[in-house]
Structure 1
Amino acid sequence: MKNKIFAALLLSLTLAGIAQAEQVGSVDTVFKFFGPDHKIVVEAFDDPDVKNVTCYLSRAKTGGIKGGLGLAEDTADAAISCQQVGPITLTDKIKNGKQSGSVVFQKRTSLVFKRLQVVRFYDADRNALIYLSYSDRVVDGSPKNALSAVPIMPWNR
């Protein structure tokens, strides 16, 4: 057990260069008498390696006393939409990227072992960036996922 906690802490320190999200808004879904309500949170983040791509995530956030203290486990439900917001130039590292993708965003969704992740893939045949969001656990992964594709288009403004 101590090894799992140490591994999680070490992993969180090594991922310091991953994008940070800012909250755009939220809606309450279930009233909780004590603590914050359950809600759906909408957050935005910019791809840290591709200028002018912004992704929007909506995800469930557990409320109540445990949620207010940061001890609750959020569900694996999430959606993603990414858009080109300006001219895109890809680096050779992204063009020649690995097939397993690059993690561009992570958010802790439980005290230790569960994270919401966004991984970027480059589809050279279609000249598009693909963003996959999914929830994982160190012990047991979740098949819940969402996908967004950004075709790289000329930008005339």
Structure 2
Amino acid sequence: MKMKAWIGIMFAAATSLLAGCGDDVGKVSLGVFTTKDVIIEARQDPKIPGVTCHISRIEANLDFADPSDMGIACRQTGPILPADLANIDKSHGGEVVFKASLSILFKSLKVRRIYDVDSQTLIYLSYSTKETDGSHKHSLSTVPLYGTQAWQAPAAQNGEPAAKN
């Protein structure tokens, strides 16, 4: 009995800490007879302030369920400059830009930014660090740089001159 009380207290503390992460922009109840809600948060990329990601996830207060599903949609919400791209990790693994603890069961939500040089696109991958039903839950969103100040015309190919802007 003491263990259940301790777990309940730790869960409530973790939930209250998570509430301070990001800007909550929406909350939808999943029904009268459930304690689960869909939370929508807005997060600005810390190195590329012209990109905002909206992340939806299940919040299960007072529930020992361990939901891992999430969704992500990232969009250009301001200028994206060449100087912004100069400061990001351009490796194939990219870098973690957001991280939040989702439960006392050692699960967290991470969002990783990866830069696709060939298509000049920022890729945002959200994923759960805990395996659920044999797979890690994940979701993907892209922000093309075309039309931004950071976009560069492709180099000449096959001896033809590069396109002019």
Does the 8 Å contact 1:29/1:40 carry over to 2? yes
For 1:147 and 1:43, how far apart are their aligned partners in 2? Answer: 16
Show structure 2 runs of 5+ residues with no match: 1-20, 150-165
2:12 equivalent in structure 1: none
Does the 8 Å contact 2:109/2:126 carry over to 1? yes
For 1:32 and 1:108, how far apart are their aligned partners in 2? Answer: 25
1:76 equivalent in structure 2: 68
Backbone CA RMSD of aligned residues:
2.4
For 1:83-94, list aligned pairs within 5 A.
Answer: 83-89=75-81, 90-94=84-88
Which residue, 19, 24, 47 being the options, matches 1:49?
47
Residue 153 of structure 1: how far off its partner (Å): 3.0
2:36 equivalent in structure 1: 38
* TM-aligned CA distance change 1:148 to 1:61, over 3 Å: same
Identity of aligned residues (%): 39
Scaled by the length of structure 1, what TM-score is found?
Answer: 0.71
Residue type at the aligned position of 2:40? V
Residue 74 of structure 1: how far off its partner (Å): 3.7
Which residue, 122, 137, 140 being the options, matches 1:147?
140
1:8 equivalent in structure 2: none
Does the 8 Å contact 2:47/2:87 carry over to 1? no
Does the 8 Å contact 1:73/1:110 carry over to 2? no
Residue 43 of structure 1: how far off its partner (Å): 0.5
Counting strand residues as a fraction of each chain, which structure ranks higher? Answer: 1
* TM-aligned CA distance change 1:148 to 1:76, over 3 Å: same
Which residue, 111, 114, 133 being the options, matches 2:126?
133
- Cα deviation per residue 1:39-80 (whole Å; 9 max; x = unaligned)? 1001000000112100000101113xx35xxxx454111000
- The answer to whether structure 1 residue 62 and structure 2 residue 60 are counterparts is yes
Q: In terms of Rg, which structure is larger?
A: 2
Scaled by the length of structure 2, what TM-score is found?
Answer: 0.68
State the secondary structure of the residue aligned to 1:113: coil
Give every structure 1 segment of 4 or more consecutive aligned residues whose post-TM-superposition deviation is greater than 6 Å: none
